[in-house]
């Protein structure tokens, strides 16, 4: 309390520059007080102190690509937390935001970091090149990569080709046909 003054009320006021808790303005009897002003002891004063920067409303980032999400955060002076997290998603396009750490509409301090989980796209498995493998070896190889054999076409010993062909990306547990022609 200021010596000789009775402080009735401390009113916080957001300010982008003045640190929280610092006095922005002092009014005495409704008038702005200047340093060195003489007042009677017991005069009532009102201090207006800085509440710091205005809290920022966290934007909705779901579905945005990384660049758009970062621009949205920058526009309200929030920052993107690193490293980013990626998660496989069948419904959210690759590179789009699935989740954010601070809920949309939440008020956050200027500079707060927001963590994002981005879609890695759908889970896909590559059909391996199995030419020259036995049917048993080909079955084991498909199981290793999360695929399965649908059918074996032909009476031969070794796999010559697959349908779909090697290099094709498939959803997990998709079926592959092994082509094993007779010699």
CATH at 150: 3.30.10.20
Residues 121-139: tens digit of each pLDDT: 999 999 999 999 999 999 9
Tell me, yes or no, whether 138 and 174 share the same domain. Answer: yes
Domain boundary among 91, 119, 147: 119
Q: Look at residue 1 and tell me whether its pLDDT is greater than 50.
A: no
Torsion, Cα 168 91 84 75, to 10 degrees, reads 130
Tell me, yes or no, whether 173 and 141 share the same domain. Answer: yes
Tell me, yes or no, whether 105 and 141 share the same domain. Answer: no
Tell me, yes or no, whether 154 and 169 share the same domain. Answer: yes
Tell me, yes or no, whether 85 and 130 share the same domain. Answer: no
Tell me, yes or no, whether 37 and 62 share the same domain. Answer: no
* pLDDT for position 3: 59
What's the structural domain count of the chain? 3
Task: Give residue 135's domain range.
Answer: 125-179
Q: Look at residue 41 and tell me whether its pLDDT is greater than 90.
A: no
Tell me, yes or no, whether 34 and 76 share the same domain. Answer: no
In degrees and rounded to multiples of 5, residue 169 shows phi and psi of -95, 125
Can you spell out the DSSP letters for the chain? --TTEEEEEEEEE--SSSPTT-EEEEEETTEE--TT----TTEEEEEEEE--SPPEEPPP-TT-BHHHHHHHHHHTT-EE-SS-EEE--SSSPTTBEEEESS-TT-EE-TT-EE-EEEE--S--EEPP--TT-BHHHHHHHHHHTT-EEEEEESS-SB--EEESPTT-EE-TT-EEEEE----
* pLDDT for position 9: 59
* pLDDT for position 169: 94
Tell me, yes or no, whether 61 and 43 share the same domain. Answer: no
């Amino acid at each position: 309390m200021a010596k000789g003054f009775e402080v009735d009320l401390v009113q916080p006021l957001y300010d982008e520059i003045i640190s929280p808790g610092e006095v922005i303005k002092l009014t005495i009897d409704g008038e702005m007080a200047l340093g060195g002003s003489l007042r009677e002891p017991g005069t009532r004063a009102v201090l207006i102190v800085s509440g710091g920067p205005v809290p920022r409303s966290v934007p909705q980032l779901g579905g945005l690509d990384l660049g758009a999400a970062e621009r949205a955060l920058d526009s309200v002076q929030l920052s993107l937390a690193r490293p980013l997290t990626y998660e496989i998603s069948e419904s959210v396009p690759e590179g789009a935001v699935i989740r954010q750490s601070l809920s949309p509409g939440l008020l956050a301090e200027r500079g707060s970091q927001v963590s994002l989980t981005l879609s890695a796209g759908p889970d896909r498995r590559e059909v391996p090149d199995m030419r020259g493998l036995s049917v048993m070896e080909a079955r084991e190889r498909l199981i290793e990569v999360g695929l399965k054999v649908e059918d074996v076409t032909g009476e031969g010993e070794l796999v010559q080709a697959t349908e779909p062909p090697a290099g094709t990306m498939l959803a997990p547990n998709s079926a592959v046909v092994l082509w094993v022609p007779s010699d």
